[in-house]
Amino acid sequence: MKIKFCTQCGSTTELKVPVDDNFERYVCTNCAHTHYLNPRIVCGCIVYKEDKVLLCKRAIKPRMGLWTVPAGFMENGETTRNAAARETQEEANINITTGKLFSISNLPHANQVYFLYLADLGDKSYSVTPESSEIALFSKDDIPWDEIAFHTVKSSLTKYFEGLEDNHESKKNFKLHEVDF
């Protein structure tokens, strides 16, 4: 990402390492305001019901028409857990209670970090939203593995089902997965 103009005064910026810094930043040529660019945090839920997980077909860009778990960018003022629940509400219309943190995935090439929580659907209902054109529960063998929108989501789902096979009856035994892409 490039910041061409200063967010404070509108003048042009230049890319340089500010004094007492170790990274290149976009610094204003007029007022010297320094613009920091940091990773974005994506939060979401692996919503499960018995041996199935809930996937949403994306009605929005990017990767429109492909499947993913409910997830999206964290907002200022939120916790990761709150963000995961809000995204699940926005994308699948579920008032979910989040459980254990399942995975932290680092995507340094995309400047993103993913936090995915486990969440039991129970008897709650779900429905399509402006962000999801279709929502369904899939068992491992029914998942459209070739139509998963994001590599990191596919990886976490794979680990989830591997864990299910190892743990069988209890999801309490899931360990936290840290994955670097």
Nearer to Zn ion, 6 or 54 (CB): 6
**Among the residue ranges 1-9, 94-102, 135-143, 165-173, the one whose residues contact Zn ion (CB under 5 A):** 1-9
User: What's the N-to-C CA distance of the chain in angstroms?
Assistant: 20
**Helix (H) or strand (E) segment spanning residue 155:** helix 151-167
Indicate which single residue of 8, 34, 111, 167 sits in contact with Zn ion (rule: CB under 5 A). 8
Q: Which two tokens stand for residue 161?
A: 């089902």
β-strand partners of 16: 25
**Binding footprint of Zn ion, residue count (CB under 5 A):** 8
- Does 12 bind Zn ion (CB under 5 A)? Our answer is no
- The window from 25-33, 77-85, 87-95, 163-171 that contacts Zn ion (CB under 5 A) reads 25-33
Give how far the C-alpha of residue 41 lies from the chain's centroid of Cα atoms, to the nearest Å: 7
Neighbours of 115 (CB within 10 A): 21
Cβ proximity to Zn ion, 6 vs 84, nearer residue: 6
Applying CB under 5 A, which of residues 15, 31, 37, 64 lies at the interface with Zn ion? 31
Taking a C-beta distance cutoff of 8 angstroms, is the pair 114, 102 a contact? no
Please report whether residue 6 would count as binding Zn ion according to CB under 5 A. Answer: yes
Residue 7 interacting with Zn ion (CB under 5 A):
no
Tell me if 37 contacts Zn ion by CB under 5 A.
Answer: no
Question: 13 or 98, CB closer to Zn ion?
Answer: 13
Q: Which of 59, 64, 50, 71 is nearest to 137 (CA)?
A: 50
CA–CA distance from 99 to each of 56, 75, 120, 158 (Å)?
19, 20, 7, 19
Answer yes or no whether residue 30 interacts with Zn ion by CB under 5 A: yes
DSSP 86: H
C-alpha 27/C-alpha 48 separation (Å) is: 46
Minimum Å gap between C-beta 26 and Zn ion is 10
Contacting range for Zn ion; rule: CB under 5 A; set: 31-39, 64-72, 99-107, 153-161 = 31-39
Instruction: Indicate whether 28 belongs to the interface with Zn ion (CB under 5 A).
Output: yes
Contact positions vs Zn ion (CB under 5 A):
6, 8-9, 11, 28, 30-31, 33
